[in-house]
Amino acid sequence: MVQSSPHWSTIVIGSGGILGGILTVVALVTKGIVDKKETQISDLTQRNARLERELAEEQEKSQRLITSFSERLRSIDAGRLSPEDAVRLREIFSLIKGFEDLHQGFSDCKRAAKWLDIRSKTWVQQACESVTRKYRDLVPRDKVKTFKDELTLYLTWVHTCLNEHGHTDNTPLPKFVSDPSITSPHPYVAAVSYLIDKEDWGELTPDQIAYLREVLMRLKERIGESFAS
């Protein structure tokens, strides 16, 4: 025989009395809020992924148009143009070259960011092991986990700079680590220096490596500045 589901009032009051009922209601309400927030986060994640795909498609479309326009211009016989038009044509070619270089630069930054995303967890672990051996007095055992979490956030800053902006100007470091747990910048700077010196660049091209290295170097500077302010 199939048993009928217990009435909600039985669950709420039950053997725990009124207090147990209140706690149960609170738990149910809390679960409802959490579920709603998780749904919202999932929706935002999906929307963000869709926007990233649309942006990539638009960038590819723009690049194809620029390439097509450039090819058409190159088919023009410059010898048949007036001196003024020939100068304008060279200026247009220079602008097109600038657009192409900019597009390639963004592409290289995103590829470097992707590699960082792949290696971040391993990098943090390796850097932490190296630094805690050298700075045991500044990074005691009870602060190691927090230190690792902060290193992760610092690398998240690097990833954001590369993936979203292509530079570091519009990404304040305190938004990622506002109050470092370690009282000295040296362990953090040493960790970033370790990653730079390790040169774990995988199959990144020289330009992609240069972008990643540059932002890591800038991270060291920003860390120092944050402690000096």
Residue-wise pLDDT for 191-226, tens only, equals 999 999 999 999 999 999 999 999 999 999 999 998
| Residues 98, 89: Cα–Cα separation, whole Å | 14
Average pLDDT score over residue span 139-152: 94
| Residues 202, 227: Cα–Cα separation, whole Å | 32
Helix (H, G, I), strand (E, B) or coil at 162: helix
Helical H segments across the chain, by residue range:
8-13, 17-74, 83-134, 144-160, 186-198, 206-228
Q: Are 89 and 78 in contact (CB under 8 A)?
A: yes
| Residues 182, 146: Cα–Cα separation, whole Å | 9
Classify residue 189 by burial, with Cβ atoms within 10 Å: 0-12, 13-18, 19+: middle
Range in 13-27, 57-71, 105-119, 121-135 with the lowest mean pLDDT: 13-27
Q: Are 113 and 163 in contact (CB under 8 A)?
A: yes
Q: pLDDT by residue (tens digit) across 66-87?
A: 566 566 656 665 566 666 766 6
- pLDDT at residue 103 greater than cutoff 60: no
- Residue 204, pLDDT score: 92
Nearest to 73 by CA among 58, 59, 88: 88
Residues whose CB is less than 8 angstroms from the CB of residue 13 and which lie 6 or more positions away in sequence, other chains included: 20, 21
- Token pair in block for residue 58: 């638009």
Query: Is the sign of the CA dihedral 111, 113, 118, 120 positive or negative?
Result: positive
Average pLDDT, the chain: 77
